[in-house]
Amino acid sequence: MIVLKFGGSSVADAACMRQVAGLVKAALPKSPLVVLSAMGKTTNGLFDAAKAAESGDLTLAMERQRALMASHRQAASDLFAGSVPESLDVALTDLFGELELLLRGVALLRELSPRSMDAIASLGERLSTRVFAAFVGGAWVDARKVLRTDQVFGEAIPQPAAIRALAAEHMKPLLGAGQVVVTQGYIGATEDGLTTTLGRGGSDYSAALFGAALGAEEVQIWTDVEGVLTCDPRIVPEALPLSELSFAEAAELAAFGAKVLHPATIQPAVEAGIPVTVRHTQKPEGRFTTISAEVHTGRPITALASRGPVTVLTVSSTRMLAQSGFLARLFEVFGRRGVSVDLVATAEVSVSLTVEADVPLKPLIEDLSAFAKVEIHEGRAIIAAVGERLKSTPGLGSKLLTALGDINVEMISMGGNEINLSLVVKVESTHEALRRLHRVLVGGIS
């Protein structure tokens, strides 16, 4: 069997759903499990309604609820030429009734807990899958019966062993050649049945988890680009689709800003040895990228990604010189403050590192200043050059710096896995740096 995941833009309206239905029909011989996101901007609409209710503006919250109800009923009406099946009509009515009760409860208490937000946010996927399953005549499975998580609402952590057992119970009996099973991405539930979500972008993660649990032949991620590109095409118009990508390369690109994949999507597939393909919903016969553990392209640089703004902290102290324990003390501060560090570069008496731009700097700097001098450089960006032969390619550093020309590189870091060479530049130089690097180092890869 295979897993087909479709994002919100792929199921934004009735026309999009019809196209997706055609792709699902073509996959029927492979017993597809279809994982859907919410329609279009539904999740944003649910968040807006919840925030309005929290502020006490129940009128606005109900307006948002009615708008969402109208868009879903319109999609259903368009799909069924005005004759919506009674079972679907009842299901939609029940779901919007549930949404109304949740919003009224939030408005009454003026409190929007992460648990309540997850319950509200889950309705987007539950609605889209009800409509789509009715249209394609597929079995509808509530993902909350299968995707078991912990109780960290908003960023729940899946429990793979439990998911495998529950998938065997609730999904596997429904799968078969010529049959389609439809379920939701993004949402799960605790052992006690409380609704959770995996965080924004978690539908890809859901698809990989289901694929791993069911031993899928392939996980297909259908989106609005022809696979993973050599760079962001909005910045580098001549960016090219990559036919193959290793799991390690894909994970690095995702972590450093590539928009196609959720970083955590890769891990369940890596562990299960399942290839992931990234495809364009509007161009099903077009190019696509296959991501697997077995790919070894031998390219010095496969693709470029960027992330920013970030902040560079340079921590200096003469106590570092020939002294043990300084780095342990330094990183203890970051751990205690819950601040993640991306890049690290060391010298004899200083350490430079990058953190996200929105971290609370004041308490962090106060703690660090107790034993070192701290310099802060905001408005920076990380550019990551990812490829399997970065370290073993002679002259690559020279080519890289020559390509950048007059763009100043403030920090260089080679990733621990040796496939990621990261550079820090001023954020306003990011686009030009990417264009220059792509032209010299990546242009021509196909």
Lookup: tokens for 143:
């993902």
CA atoms of 7 and 38, how far apart (whole Å): 7
- 212-248: per-residue pLDDT in tens? 999 999 999 998 888 888 898 889 998 888 888 888 8
- 307-363: per-residue pLDDT in tens? 989 999 999 887 666 566 788 888 999 999 889 898 888 877 888 999 999 898 999
Name the segment(s) of the chain with CATH classification 3.30.2130.10.
303-442
Distance of CA 349 to the CA centre of its chain: 38
Fold of 303-442: VC0802-like (3.30.2130)
Spatial CB neighbours of 169, under 8 Å, sequence gap ≥ 6: none
Tens of pLDDT along the chain (446 residues) come to: 999 999 999 999 999 999 999 999 999 999 999 999 999 999 999 999 999 999 999 999 999 999 999 999 999 999 999 999 999 999 999 999 999 999 999 999 999 999 999 999 999 999 999 999 999 999 999 999 999 999 999 999 999 999 999 999 999 999 999 999 999 999 999 999 999 999 877 899 999 999 999 999 999 999 888 888 889 888 999 888 888 888 888 888 888 877 767 767 778 988 898 999 999 998 999 889 998 877 666 677 888 999 989 999 999 887 666 566 788 888 999 999 889 898 888 877 888 999 999 898 999 999 999 888 999 999 999 999 888 777 777 777 788 888 899 999 999 887 666 788 889 999 999 999 999 999 887 654 43
DSSP state of 11: G
Q: Kindly report the number of other CB atoms within 10 A of residue 287's CB atom.
A: 15
CA atoms of 414 and 345, how far apart (whole Å): 9
Handedness of CA 128, 131, 137, 139 (dihedral sign): positive
27-31-32 Cα angle (round to 5): 60
CA atoms of 361 and 359, how far apart (whole Å): 6
2-223 sits in which CATH class?
Answer: alpha beta
